[in-house]
Amino acid sequence: MARYTGPMTKKSRRLGVDLVGGDAAYERRPYPPGQHGRGRIKESEYLLQLREKQKARYTYGVLEKQFHNYYTEASRRPGKTGDNLLQLLECRLDNVVYRAGFARTRRHARQLVTHGHFKVNGKKVDIPSYQVSAHDVIDVREKSLEMTPFIVARETHGERHVPAWLEALPNRMRILVHSVPVRAQIDIPVQEQLIVEYYSKK
């Protein structure tokens, strides 16, 4: 699956939010890039909606077509479309690995999943967009346990906050998915209603 591989700091500055988490370069210059970055631009309703969509898209590392597919699926499900959309994005396997503290960033988590280091309910899964469900058990494969990223993850695990819908067992390098997250448990600075409005006009 294709993905954006360009500089994330530039995207963070353009959208006004740290998309990586702990991006020192963004913290030094948290204004838009370019010659007129510090100037004020007129913010139309469309621009605000587009910006929220782009924030969510780059945060989770999803390309436009795939993101639109998530929106379509979210709109089919009962309940609020915006909540469903964020729930689908949060339940991606690469995001769960990141949230559990087994990877430094979502990009890093995606790479670890793609390289086949994880099993879900005993079966190897190397698809970052794989949707985890309540009561799934995610393990690092035995062959991978002594690789540097997982040794570091075990040693630094106490530094990361793990959301309540997940449980991380660093000694066993296991993640338990207790439930799918509700909106209140998803802490990304995105106004999902603006994303719904953006797509509803198309």
Strand, helix or coil for residue 62: coil
To the nearest 10°, report the CA torsion of 79, 62, 46, 8.
130
Counting Cα atoms < 13 Å in the Cβ hemisphere of 136 gives 22
Strand, helix or coil for residue 169: strand
Residue 178: its pLDDT value, please? 98
Residue 130: its pLDDT value, please? 98
Residue 149: its pLDDT value, please? 94
Kindly tell me the burial class for residue 135, based on how many C-beta atoms sit within 10 Å of its own C-beta (0-12, 13-18, 19 or more).
exposed
pTM greater than 0.85: no
Asked whether 93 and 120 are in contact (CB, 8 A), the reply is yes
Length of the chain: 202
Residue 68: its pLDDT value, please? 97
Residue 141: its pLDDT value, please? 97
- Mean pLDDT per 10-residue run, the chain (202 residues)? 60 64 60 60 86 95 96 97 98 97 95 98 98 98 96 89 96 97 94 96 78
Residue 21: its pLDDT value, please? 61
The H or E element spanning position 25 is helix 24-28
